[in-house]
A and B are shown apart, each in its own frame.
Chain A
Amino acid sequence: GAVVSQHPSWVICKSGTSVKIECRSLDFQATTMFWYRQFPKQSLMLMATSNEGSKATYEQGVEKDKFLINHASLTLSTLTVTSAHPEDSSFYICSARDQGSGGKTQYFGPGTRLLVL
């Protein structure tokens, strides 16, 4: 139980294009999902909290117009990197809170590696 998937696992795109990453909770409902960014050999940096049916809450310094988040259902959140540039290249990881276990635990997806050329 408590499986989170991400799609795609790898994406390479040209500078200036937009990329959408999907995060799904496969066997539980998640009113709250989180999006993280991880640079090589570093810890995870929380980018935003995605709330089902409402606007996302962004961490300080994260451009909300650059990283669009949509949480349209209890099992799906999407992160769209708009007009991507090489500095956006990174490993993006989502997590979902399992409401069934009291919402205290986050389960993570396998991550999406983005390379912007």
Chain B
Amino acid sequence: AQSVTQLDSQVPVFEEAPVELRCNYSSSVSVYLFWYVQYPNQGLQLLLKYLSGSTLVKGINGFEAEFNKSQTSFHLRKPSVHISDTAEYFCAVSDHTGTASKLTFGTGTRLQVTL
């Protein structure tokens, strides 16, 4: 079984400031890691994913995340946020086993960008 912890339920930040959204996971097997963004009344959009290889992953909209196996973390970062980045961000993991790898989601972090 896996679990995902997003400690920060809300992160307020000023426009053009850097931001980090934290994600820690727990799993007894190797995992794939994902960050999704959800705008109000919409589905989830894939921001980036770590499947293998380089631990620094770049995604859309200027976001990046770094997989740290020893700390079981996959924090999401952006060096300069925009008002349009205001949304809910979900970290998720799935394991390498099975033919229908289910996603386990964190509880989400609300990023609120203000002027």
Q: Is there contact, CB below 8 Å, between A111 and B41?
A: yes
Contact segment of A43-51, A62-70, A82-90: A43-51
Give the secondary structure class of B's interface.
Answer: loop
Q: Is there contact, CB below 8 Å, between B102 and A34?
A: yes
Q: Is there contact, CB below 8 Å, between A43 and B105?
A: yes
Q: Is there contact, CB below 8 Å, between A46 and B103?
A: yes
B32 contacts which chain A residues (CB < 8 A)? 104
Is A93 engaged at the interface, CB distance under 8 Å to the other chain?
yes
Q: Is there contact, CB below 8 Å, between A108 and B36?
A: yes
Q: Is there contact, CB below 8 Å, between A111 and B106?
A: no
Is B60 engaged at the interface, CB distance under 8 Å to the other chain?
no
B51 contacts which chain A residues (CB < 8 A)? 102, 104
Q: Is there contact, CB below 8 Å, between A106 and B43?
A: no
Q: Is there contact, CB below 8 Å, between A110 and B105?
A: no
Q: Is there contact, CB below 8 Å, between B94 and A111?
A: no
| Contact pick for B107, options A42, A46, A103, CB 8 Å | A42
A residues contacting the other copy or chain, number (CB 8 A) = 26
Is A73 engaged at the interface, CB distance under 8 Å to the other chain?
no
Interface-centre pick from A93, A106, A107 (highest chain B CB count, 10 A): A106
Is A113 engaged at the interface, CB distance under 8 Å to the other chain?
yes
Q: Is there contact, CB below 8 Å, between A105 and B100?
A: no
B106 contacts which chain A residues (CB < 8 A)? 43
CB B7 to nearest CB in A, in angstroms, measures 14
A-B contact list, 25 entries, CB within 8 Å: A32-B100, A34-B103, A42-B107, A42-B108, A43-B105, A43-B107, A44-B90, A91-B41, A93-B43, A93-B44, A97-B100, A97-B101, A102-B51, A104-B94, A104-B101, A105-B34, A105-B49, A106-B34, A106-B103, A107-B46, A108-B44, A108-B45, A110-B42, A110-B43, A113-B41
State the A residues within 8 Å of B (CB): 4, 6, 32, 34, 42-44, 46, 49, 51, 57, 91, 93, 95, 97, 102-111, 113
